Amino acid sequence: MARVTRFAPSPTGPLHLGHAYAALVAAARGDRFLLRIEDIDCARSRPEWEAAIFDDLAWLGLAWETPVMRQSDRLPAYQAALAQLQAEGLTYHCTCTRGDIRAALSAPQEGVIGPDGPVYPGTCRDKGHATGAVRMNMGAAMARLGAVAFTETGTRPGLWRYDAQTLCRDVGDVVLARRDIGTSYHLAVVVDDAAQGITEVTRGEDLFGATAIHVVLQGLLGLPTPLYHHHRLIRDAAGKRLAKRDDARALSKYRAEGATPADIRRMVGLTSAGTG
């Protein structure tokens, strides 16, 4: 079976060395390499950053299939998936602010931190609100699925299996649709990886904790679970991971200084043939 991989940047800033590494790993691991522009956060996404992404990736020597999927074109697909989960009684509306959630956690310093921050205490679960953010009822979801699992081929190789108790405690009722954008990263990424026929999701190990959520959603929506390959993060000299605001590490900066694509590969620890 052809291996299909993707690189899924958000056009909210310049690509830096960490993005270059992620894109190179994805491209090296796929027979087909796809690109997806994750621009659901319209307030932060800019067309000029998208153009810069294409320019940097082409300069690195990468080629991807067109047309490129853009999440801002896909809202109806996310709405359909959300409607399916709502119709099955696996969601509820939540009107809590961040402050409400903090206040509801009796000892926030001891609260469990999940993939999206403090695990939601379930305040709105039985309130029957008609509006607000849409949360997944993890207990109901896992009562349906029993357990979920995925195979990791990257930094923590093996079969990862999660039961209801673990996911309710460590992940909880995550947001599937933000009030402002009508979807969330989790819902969009699951719907899109399936639509693009991705066979191996490659991404940074900072997203390892989110994968259990994605596998739950795949189970509920009847979508296949791909392989997962989480890779190491590129860090600066002080050992701090790079972030979008670290413009000092922008690829464009190295390009302007005369670096070659081979220099970039070396800087992120890739030999010409390796996939890191």
Q: Is 11 in the site for ligand GLU (CB under 6 A)?
A: no
Out of 38, 39, 56, 200, point to the residue binding ligand GLU (CB under 6 A).
38
At its nearest, how many Å lie between ligand GLU and the CB of residue 38? 4
Calculate the alpha carbon distances from 21 to 14, 100, 263, 264 in Å.
Answer: 14, 39, 12, 9
Q: What are phi and psi of 262, to 5 degrees?
A: -65, -35
Q: Is 203 in the site for ligand GLU (CB under 6 A)?
A: yes
At its nearest, how many Å lie between Zn ion and the CB of residue 105? 12
CA distance 161 to 166: 10
Q: What are phi and psi of 6, to 5 degrees?
A: -150, 155
Out of 75, 168, 207, 221, point to the residue binding ligand GLU (CB under 6 A).
207
**For residue 160, what is the enclosing H or E element?**
strand 158-163
Give the single-character DSSP code of 16. B
Q: Is 96 in the site for Zn ion (CB under 5 A)?
A: yes
Interacting stretch for Zn ion, rule CB under 5 A, among 55-63, 123-131, 138-146, 172-180?
Answer: 123-131
Q: Which does 124 bind (CB under 5 to 8 A by kind): Zn ion, ligand GLU, none?
A: Zn ion
Residue pair 249/243 in contact (Cβ under 8 Å)? The answer is no
At its nearest, how many Å lie between ligand GLU and the CB of residue 76? 20
Contacts 24+ apart (CB under 8 A), 158-164: 160/211, 160/212, 162/212, 162/215, 164/138, 164/139
Q: Which does 200 bind (CB under 5 to 8 A by kind): ligand GLU, Zn ion, none?
A: none
Interacting stretch for ligand GLU, rule CB under 6 A, among 8-16, 44-52, 78-86, 155-163?
Answer: 8-16
Prior bond of 67 cis (ω within 30°): yes
Which residues of the shown chain bind Zn ion in the complex (CB under 5 A)? 94, 96, 123-124
Residues binding ligand GLU (CB under 6 A): 8-10, 38, 189, 203, 207
